[in-house]
Amino acid sequence: MSSPISSSQEPSSMVAEVNMGTDPCSPVIRATVVQASSVFYDTPATMDKAERLIADAAGLGSQLVVFPEGFIAIAVPGPEVERLAALAGKYKIYLVMGVIEKDEYTLYCTVLFFDSQGCYLGKHRKIMPTALERLVWGFGDASTTPVFETPIGKIGSVICWENRMPLLRTAMYAKGIEIYCAPTADCSDTWQATMNHIALEGGCFVLSAIQFCQRKDYPPPPEYTLSGTDDDLSPDSVACRGGSVIISPLGTVLAGPNHEGEGLLTADLDLGEIARAKFDFDVVGHYSRPDLLSLVVKDDPLSPVTFKSGKSEKLKQEPCWINKAQF
């Protein structure tokens, strides 16, 4: 468990030392899951907080840092994306960042990926917003369900209750995902069972990042109320209790779940565990029955308007940006 939060509200850190007894020649990478609140309605302050958290994780020797769902609301591409890329390069980490993406007049719940050289790799847009989120967010499509092959493993992300969609999970397994990032806002006890199941089902490491929010993290009323809570909230009342966790392909909890406060959950991931897990159960390999059950994924971009000539004129100049085609 994480140590108590200081009065400055900077997150504590926790490093799990777990001897999995695997091949000493297999790659081992250190990963950190961030459990922290955004600075609501203040993007610059949230960016500054993200940099402090990234620096702290890098100080622990982490090569991969995963943030919660919807941590920052930004345009993609945009200056904040450029800054996140620069931070990944500065601290030599792979960065998985949950954002609310503003694309013209539509919002998407999105995860952005950056490599340790400071390059933007791409994004995943949530294909099914959860519950009432459908009133606010747009729907992604399967063209943004990437799994990136990197020197530290094959990295991808599935957001919140997308993780309850077995066909989407199967598509990610078929892409060879090894480090399965699951940012969410679900702080329930049942979420832990979901994460453990995915680790076993997919034979992959599961890293779930959840915000920890208190009443004092939000602007003052009366502009809104916190549903499902008592009327007599104190500044320290918990609105989202976290529950971030890191789980191995064999179902071992390597770090977390943390329900105590903001913190950094860090663990060493022995990628040799993946082969050991797949030997027992490979859901898209020797444990599949494509003669009986199969899946077709329509991964072409879906657009409400298609110009058959292919000669439609762009009305705005695209920014000069490294890997801009990935947006």
* Span 147-190, pLDDT tens digits: 999 999 999 999 999 999 999 999 999 999 999 999 999 888 89
Instruction: Report residue 289's pLDDT band, with 50, 70 and 90 as the boundaries.
Output: very high
* Span 186-212, pLDDT tens digits: 888 899 999 999 999 999 999 999 988
18 sits in the region (left: phi over 0; alpha: psi -120 to 50; else beta) called beta
DSSP-assigned states of every residue in 58-125: HHTT-SEEEPPTT-EEEESSSHHHHHHHHHHHHHT-EEEEEEEEEETTEEEEEEEEE-TTS-EEEEEE
Instruction: Report residue 226's pLDDT band, with 50, 70 and 90 as the boundaries.
Output: low
My answer on whether omega of the bond before 319 falls inside 30° of 0, hence cis, is no
Torsion of CA 295, 296, 301, 307, to 10 degrees: -160
Comparing 38 with 235, the larger pLDDT belongs to 38
Instruction: Report residue 7's pLDDT band, with 50, 70 and 90 as the boundaries.
Output: very low
Whether 92 sits among the annotated catalytic residues: the reply is no
| Marked catalytic residue, from 160, 204, 213, 240 | 160
pTM assigned to the model:
0.85
Distance CA(259)–CA(257), nearest Å, equals 6
Average pLDDT for the chain: 86
Whether 313 sits among the annotated catalytic residues: the reply is no
* Span 111-141, pLDDT tens digits: 999 999 999 999 999 999 888 888 888 999 9
Instruction: Report residue 259's pLDDT band, with 50, 70 and 90 as the boundaries.
Output: confident
Cα distances from 35 to residues 7, 169, 173, 257, in angstroms, run: 17, 24, 26, 10
pLDDT surpassing 70 at residue 250: yes
% residues pLDDT > 70 (the chain):
83
Beta bridge partners of 148: 155
% residues pLDDT > 90 (the chain):
67
* Strand, coil or helix: 171: helix
Residue where the block lists tokens 């050289």:
117
Whether 160 sits among the annotated catalytic residues: the reply is yes
| Marked catalytic residue, from 49, 101, 123, 126 | 126
Instruction: Report residue 11's pLDDT band, with 50, 70 and 90 as the boundaries.
Output: low
